[in-house]
Every structure is written in structure tokens, then in C-alpha cells.
Amino acid sequence: MGSAIFVFGCLLVVALVLNRISYLLRISVCLSFLFVFVLVVFFFSSDCTVVFC
């Protein structure tokens, strides 16, 4: 679970940096957040022993 929090923190920092650059980059960051969220839900719904447990 710590690795997921680390990845989320890195994405948050990247989002804050890109927020100052461009609107299109901000949209791409939002899409990447959605992608990571789907991956986390997929890992929890399937076998969680591979990544988190």
C-alpha cells in the first residue's frame, strides 16, 4: 500500500507542476489520474497479493 501512496504523491507533484504550464497538459494529468485509479481498483478487485499484500 505504501508504493501506491508514493505513486499518488508523485502524480500529485507532477500535476501541480503541469498546472502552471498548460491547459492541455492539465487535461492529460487528469486522464492519468483516472488511469491510475482504474488500475488500483482493478488490483483490489482481482488478486491483491500481487501488488499490495
pLDDT at 35: 92
Q: Tell me, what DSSP letter sits at residue 14?
A: H
**This prediction's pTM:** 0.40
pLDDT digits (tens, 9 = 90+) for 1-53: 577 788 888 888 887 776 677 777 778 878 888 999 988 888 777 665 555 55
Residues 7 and 36 sit within 8 Å (Cβ to Cβ)? yes
H or E stretch covering 17: helix 2-18
